[in-house]
Amino acid sequence: MPKAQLQYLSDELAKLREAKLYQRLRVLETEQLPVARFDGREVINLSSNNYLGLTTHPKLKQKALEAIEKWGVGSGAVRTIAGTMSLHMALEEKIAKFKHVEAAVVFQSGFTANAGTVQAILGREDVIISDELNHASIIDGCRLSRAEIKVFPHKDIEACEKILQELACRNVRKLLITDGVFSMEGDIAPLPALVELAEKYGCIMMIDDAHASGVLGRNGRGTVDHFNLHGRVDIQVGTLSKAIGALGGYICSTRDTIEFLYHRARPFLFSTSHPPAVAATCLAAFEVLEEEPQLIEQLWANTRFFKEGLKKLGFNTGMSETPITPVIVGDAALAHEFSRQLFTEGVFAQGIGFPTVPKGKARIRTIVTATHTQQDLTRALEILERVGKNLRIV
Ligand SMILES: *Cc1c(COP(=O)(O)O)cnc(C)c1O
């Protein structure tokens, strides 16, 4: 039954269809694997964040099953009431130790970790200085905090310092915040320079390492470890949903900051904690990071191979320096057509346009994993070349 009060939403959808920007959800019919079946078609999967193949790691599956047997399927409450199991505490202790910080707290997702933390620690009187390409969850956290938001052009240290100089005469609390690895560009934040600015101008320094967790630094410890900046970044965010292979997000900081979040971070206070199987899986994943460093080595070997292949073919891969490699084509309709034809030929690389990336910067995004074989990647490059030539992208 059509509902008059919802008609405007149907109208908006019709506009998307007309502009060829309408997207159906692709449905995965197998495990999340480097070659997987989506919508009935077997494709080389260049769209998952499953960097190390941990979504199907035998040890993680075993730990999840054992946790269900021992603890059941749900935690039954929010963390602050009855939903803190000893498994949750063990995971947080493991993360804190792994990251060489005083304490860590786990949220239901990286999104809630960011949004909940930024909102909790800042208020109306404060100022946030934020890279223009920061993730949506940071932006939402900034808005929810009601603090003043100053955005600097992507990785522009001079522009960032100019904002800080202008703020120097105002007695306000300041948060300098950046993604560690930018999710659509695949480039790395200039963290050493940002940390120096934060120290010089007395800012809280916060980094969102969602795409760096399990990818950068020793054993995947993240950007702070990659740049050897231990002790100089006040708040680190990580995700358990990408390389770690399950679901969740975490905050690393001082013990008091973490305890403050127990009292003020709204997703922690008002949304139920992880099922025990998820906590157990994540705990095991940190052990795997330490036991199987060859996974990260393979991830980077595959990254180098695939990136070089794309460049040799003449694709515009932008500023990427990580396993995330965009192929920028400009026009959003072209990006979606590129993605559609690739899929038909056997490669799944998601098309991405506005508002996820700026207008005129539409792209397909590729992500290689440790579990792709050389053969998978060679075949993917052949298909990219054929379709790219067909569409006159190269
Ligand atoms: C994916 C991502 C998140 C959200 O993490 P989830 O655990 O999937 O909610 C946050 N920040 C960045 C930069 C991301 O890429």
Give the pLDDT confidence of 136-152 residue by residue, as tens digits: 999 999 999 999 999 99
- What lines the ligand 1 site, CB under 6 Å? 109-111, 114, 135, 137, 179, 183, 208, 210-211, 239, 241, 249
Taking the CA of residue 240 as reference, the ligand 1 atom at the shortest distance is: 7
Q: Tens of pLDDT along the chain (394 residues)?
A: 679 999 999 999 999 999 877 888 999 999 999 999 999 999 999 999 999 999 999 999 999 999 999 999 999 999 999 999 999 999 999 999 999 999 999 999 999 999 999 999 999 999 999 999 999 999 999 999 999 999 999 999 999 999 999 999 999 999 999 999 999 999 999 999 999 999 999 999 999 999 999 999 999 999 999 999 999 999 999 999 999 999 999 999 999 999 999 999 999 999 999 999 999 999 999 999 999 999 999 999 999 999 999 999 999 999 999 999 999 999 998 999 999 999 999 999 999 988 888 889 999 999 999 999 999 999 999 999 999 999 999 9
- Note whether 108 and 271 are within 8 A (CB): yes
**DSSP state, residue 227:** T
What are 99's two structure tokens? 């990251």
Q: Which ligand 1 atom is nearest residue 138's CA? A: 11
> Are the beta carbons of 56 and 33 closer than 8 angstroms?
yes
HSE-up of residue 128 (Cα within 13 Å, Cβ side)? 28
Nearest Cα residue to atom 12 of ligand 1: 210
Q: What are the residues whose beta carbons fall under 8 Å from the beta carbon of 263, sequence distance 6 or more?
A: 269
Residues 6+ apart with CB under 8 A from 158: none
User: Cα(96)–Cα(251) distance, rounded to whole angstroms?
Assistant: 9
Three-state secondary-structure class, residue 178: strand
Residue 295, H or E segment: helix 294-313
Q: What is the token pair recorded at 115? A: 């949004």
Tokens 């109208």 locate to 11
Closest to 323 measured CA to CA, from 339, 312, 342, 307: 307
Q: How far is the CA of 134 from the centre of ligand 1 (A)?
A: 10
Catalytic option among 242, 274, 307, 336? 242
Q: Is 274 a catalytic residue?
A: no
Which entry of 57, 155, 211, 226 is annotated as an active-site residue? 211
Contacts by 81-90, CB closer than 8 A, 24 or more apart: 83/272, 83/273, 84/273, 85/273, 85/276, 85/279, 87/276, 87/279, 87/280, 87/283, 88/273, 88/274, 88/279, 90/279, 90/283
- Distance CA(44)–CA(37), nearest Å, equals 9
Give yes or no: 155 in active site: no
Which atom of ligand 1 lies closest to the CA of 241? 7
pLDDT digits (tens, 9 = 90+) for 312-327: 999 999 999 999 999 9
